[in-house]
Amino acid sequence: MSSNHHLARMTSTISKKATLTLENLVLHYGPIELQSPLSRDTFVALAEYYPDLRMERETNGITTIMSPVKRGSSKRESALIALLYMWNELHNNGEVHSSSGGFDLPSGATKSPDAAWISPERLAALPEADEESFVKIVPDFVAEVRSGTDRLKKLQTKMTDTWLANGVRLAWLIDPYKEKVYIYRLGQAVEMVEGFADRILSGEEVMPGFELPLEKMRRRV
């Protein structure tokens, strides 16, 4: 069966009623994990069919569909990406990616961090960049900012089993709800930072000179 036929059959069963759309289900009930594995071609077709939804595919084809993030999460992600972009412009010639970007990883999974940075060295290893496909380079750095619908344990597993396992050198899991940051370094134990007041995260040797004031990640309640 072709991926287009598979996609058409899947979306037609979801959209039998005008109000019962995939977008409405995700927006009202949170992330949806499809029970049947998708091939990579079907995953790409589904992502193109629903460009406003965020999707991730595991190595085994299991796909999770997520809604756009709410105001607070969007603001925190944007602050992180803006600081990362300004640092990159001043100190490097790498690439900064947002949560809209998908990474095709060596494991076969397609994942989207909330923020990512790719060094010039890793960019140079890719002979030719195709801007109309998912990113085919493992980023040097990723950050995940927990939202209200994210399960902490699942994010922690993603940091180790996805990002570090595929070669990310430095990764931050930022939890604004508990004011904690989990710092993952390739080949090292996880470090936890507690409290955001007067705290600054460093890009270390992976991103020399980059700093993130955790005050910008705090929830305003």
**Residue 60 sits in the same domain as residue 79:** no
Mean of per-residue pLDDT scores for the chain: 86
pTM value is: 0.82
Question: For tokens 């992180």, what's the residue?
Answer: 80
**Residue 57 sits in the same domain as residue 82:** no
**Residue 9 sits in the same domain as residue 118:** no
Residue of higher predicted confidence among 33 and 203: 203
Boundaries of domain holding 102? 71-217
pLDDT of amino acid 17? 44
- pLDDT for 51-72, tens place per residue? 878 888 999 998 888 777 778 7
Mean pLDDT over 170-196 rounds to 96
Question: Does pLDDT of 114 surpass 80?
Answer: yes
Please, are residues 183 and 191 in contact by the beta-carbon 8 Å criterion? yes
For residue 133, which of 62, 58, 43, 63 has the smallest C-alpha distance? 43
Task: End-to-end CA distance of the chain: give it in Å, rounded.
Answer: 51
Domain boundary among 16, 46, 66: 66
